[in-house]
Amino acid sequence: MTAGTAARRRLRPPYETSPATYRALRPIVAFIMSLFYRYEVVGLENVPSCGPILIAVNHLHLLDPFAVAARIDRQIVTLAKSAWRSNIIVGGFLRLAGTIFVRRGEVDREALRACLQVLTQGKALAIAPEGTRSKTGALQRAKPGVAYLAARTDAAILPVAIDGTHRLRDWLRLRRPVCRLIIGKPFHLPRSEGKPSTEQLQEMADGIMVRIGALLPEEYWGVYAERIAAVVERPPERGA
């Protein structure tokens, strides 16, 4: 190893992994997911091939990032709660794959800076706007952080809906669960004059969740049911 290579490795952010390492891990992740689930993927053509993208995903299970990384052909930096950092197996794999660890229950400014760095460098960042897994599967209220990141970087937002990662118990009935990944069309937040207020960021984050929810069956709409119903086109009733 040359002195220059060693210096670059020391300067590399802790969440960053080499493209070669990421490419080597993706088939492993895809194989694991194909063992657990039957995959159905819709909308791969909507994934931008380059430029900064903020992949906004609903959160059902620990394996959600695997479901996204296995099918989206971009090197993706994901977020995970800091508690996983000390786990030898899971934490080690997450670090190797490229993960930003976030401290829950507080404003983690170090993680926030890392997220901004990923997007300003033109890379892909996957984030669950809800901040924590849904115990029921239904959408929860988003945190405003996702809108803050998008507004600061003008990154394209890619809404991705996941359905099925939480159904691993189907194996107890000798049924292999189906994991559906529905990828919507990318969009940008409207530009605003000056710094958005917390209320404005929350409204933008809610709008992102509505986009995700519109890709999901109605039973997942949760706290956004009324807003999603207002934008989803329903098929005409019979006899109409």
Residue 4 CB burial class (10 angstroms; 0-12, 13-18, ≥19): exposed
175-218, pLDDT tens digit by residue?
899 999 999 999 999 887 778 899 999 999 999 999 999 999 99
Partners of residue 159 on adjacent β-strands? 56
Residue 94: predicted pLDDT:
87
Residue 2: predicted pLDDT:
52
| Antiparallel, parallel or unpaired: β 76-81 and 99-102 | parallel
Q: Which helix (H) or strand (E) holds 160?
A: strand 156-163
- The superfamily (CATH) of domain 13-231 is Glycerol-3-phosphate (1)-acyltransferase (3.40.1130.10)
Indicate if the alpha-carbon torsion angle 163, 169, 170, 176 is positive or negative. positive
- 138: which DSSP letter? S
Residue 67: predicted pLDDT:
92
pLDDT at 130 over 70: yes
CA 208 → CA 86, 138, 201, distances in Å?
Answer: 32, 15, 11
Residue 3: predicted pLDDT:
47
pTM of the model: 0.89
Residue 7: predicted pLDDT:
44
pLDDT at 42 over 80: yes
60-114, pLDDT tens digit by residue?
998 898 999 999 999 999 998 888 888 888 888 888 888 999 887 777 788 999 9
Q: Where are the domains of the chain?
A: 13-231
